[in-house]
Structure 1
Amino acid sequence: MGKRHDSIGIKQAIRLEWMQKAANLILAGLDTKAIRQELHEFLAERKGNGSEGERSDQTRTFVVNSLMKIWAAPEQELLPFRDASLAFLQEHPSMALAVHWGMISAVYPFWFNVARQTGRLLALQDQVTQTQIINRLKEQYGDRQTVSRYARFVIRSFVAWGFLKDSKAKGCYEKANLVCITDVKMAILMLESAIMATPESKCSLGLLLNNPAFFPFQLPVMTGDLVSQCSERIDVVRYGLDDEFLTLKFN
């Protein structure tokens, strides 16, 4: 699972409505070739800032490739999670925000890590700057130019999704209102996405529920027993009296 966790990958801002379009095309039964063509046509005059206007073939291709990798053609090990997320999205369209968050986090752990550093900073202060987030990411990924550039795309996506708000100062952001997750199955899908975004493919339940990467959300209190009952893809391993670790089952 190393390649997925080491790569950065997100080369353009990803808007929520584009994610929904990709998911809808799969739910409509289109094959991957048709989905790719439909996405190219859909994005031909849609820019990352939400405005209409012609975009270059290169930037459009970056976005289409990302959307295909997230929803239409994820890695083999992610297919069961993708299928479960699609089924949940179809049954609960009002939960689209959380479903798409989980899917993009699993496919692109860089997204999850940008969220984690953002959440850590927001736990300490009311506002966070782009520079602060990027500096923390460089500690993890190294001082690569691509880290700065691609992190900006993710941060702008957070704003577009409604998770951050622009403050009066340029490059400075405030936390938006929390999205309350009350459906346990949705919450467990989000935990699963977080485990997939973690190189070790395991994490303690307590740390997961309090992971700063979930800063846009309020998750319900859950026990390991509840997770075991509701998920076929997560194992719960107990250490001592209180420690519960969640690990992924791989076929």
Structure 2
Amino acid sequence: MMGKRHEAIGIKQAIRFEWMQKAANLLLAGLDVKNIRHELHEFLSGRKGNGSEGERSEQTRTFVVNNLMKIWGSPDPDLIPFRDTSLGFLRENPSMALAVHWGMISAVYPFWFNVARQTGRLLALQDQVTQTQIINRLKEQYGDRQTVSRYARFVIRSFVAWGALRDSEAPGCYEKATPMSITEPNLTILMFEAALLATPEAKGTLGLLLNSPAFFPFQIPATTGDFVSQHSERIDVIRYGLDDELLTLKAG
């Protein structure tokens, strides 16, 4: 179940929220994979990474289209059930789109999840966080590769574009934006599943998942292991100790 995607970085350009919306909407409209890819190329041909209009090179456009296809259009086979559930939730709850897209991109590209986790950890300790601080922590995990620094910057800029971080007055320094409240319990379960898919071990305690720094842009309500086990076909809940519950992805 787990494999290369946990070691890969993959995100080679900033990914804007509205581009994620476009990809999901094309899927919701019933287009096939070939037509979704074509429509995304057309859509992005006149849009730059900062959201402004203007030509971008075919190579950078292809990077973004490939990312969007891997997230929504044609994810890895083991991620399709999660994609389908996320898409169904998005159809019924369009106001919760930010959290759905965050979960989806985290599952497909665990690098996004890990950049978010390091960002969230730092923001729990201080009011502002610098790009350098985030990247230094990522290098401890991925090694001191130049690609880590470069691609992490794309993810951090994506966080700003999504409204999860705000630019501060100092260049390369960011502040936390007002968190979005998750009010739908089933969305909480989807976010737990995203975290498990982004984790090589595919398991985590309920307490750690509820308070995951990777979900720093959101306020996740308290829930119980019983609720999760009753409402998820893909998560097992294992009780151990007096009040600890371990969530794991079901095999198969």
TM-score range, shorter chain: over 0.9
Amino acid at match of 1:204: T
Amino acid at match of 2:99: A
CA separation in 1, counterparts of 2:158 and 2:124? 20
Partner residue in 2 for 1:30: 31
**4+ residue runs over 4 A deviation:** none
What's the secondary structure of 2:12's corresponding residue? coil
Q: CA deviation at 1:166?
A: 0.2
What's the secondary structure of 2:11's corresponding residue? coil
CA separation in 2, counterparts of 1:95 and 1:127? 26
Partner residue in 1 for 2:240: 239
Partner residue in 1 for 2:99: 98
Q: CA deviation at 1:131?
A: 0.3
Aligned residues: 251
CA separation in 2, counterparts of 1:122 and 1:23? 30
CA separation in 2, counterparts of 1:220 and 1:30? 35
In structure 2, the gaps of 5 or more residues are none
CA separation in 1, counterparts of 2:216 and 2:100? 15
Partner residue in 2 for 1:53: 54
CA separation in 2, counterparts of 1:183 and 1:201? 23
Q: CA deviation at 1:159?
A: 0.2
Q: Deviations over 1:45-80 (max 9, x none)?
A: 111111110000000000000000000100010000
Q: CA deviation at 1:153?
A: 0.3
What's the secondary structure of 1:62's corresponding residue? helix
CA separation in 1, counterparts of 2:248 and 2:90? 24
Q: CA deviation at 1:230?
A: 1.1
Partner residue in 1 for 2:134: 133
Q: CA deviation at 1:250?
A: 2.6
CA separation in 2, counterparts of 1:17 and 1:120? 27
Q: Deviations over 1:164-196 (max 9, x none)?
A: 000000000000001000110011100110010
Is 1:186–2:191 an aligned residue pair? no
CA separation in 2, counterparts of 1:95 and 1:192? 16
Partner residue in 2 for 1:152: 153
CA separation in 2, counterparts of 1:133 and 1:240? 35
Partner residue in 2 for 1:74: 75
What's the secondary structure of 2:183's corresponding residue? coil
In structure 1, the gaps of 5 or more residues are none
CA separation in 2, counterparts of 1:182 and 1:34? 34
Partner residue in 2 for 1:213: 214
What's the secondary structure of 1:128's corresponding residue? strand
Q: Deviations over 1:190-211 (max 9, x none)?
A: 0110010000000001011111
Partner residue in 1 for 2:173: 172
TM-score of the superposed pair, with normalisation by structure 1: 0.99
CA separation in 1, counterparts of 2:135 and 2:121? 13
CA separation in 1, counterparts of 2:24 and 2:8? 23
TM-score of the superposed pair, with normalisation by structure 2: 0.99
Q: CA deviation at 1:2?
A: 2.2
CA separation in 1, counterparts of 2:3 and 2:224? 29
Amino acid at match of 2:51: G
RMSD: 0.6
CA separation in 1, counterparts of 2:158 and 2:51? 10
CA separation in 1, counterparts of 2:177 and 2:41? 31
CA separation in 2, counterparts of 1:48 and 1:187? 30
Q: Deviations over 1:80-120 (max 9, x none)?
A: 00000000000111110000000000000000000000000
What's the secondary structure of 1:89's corresponding residue? helix
CA separation in 1, counterparts of 2:191 and 2:48? 28
Amino acid at match of 2:53: E
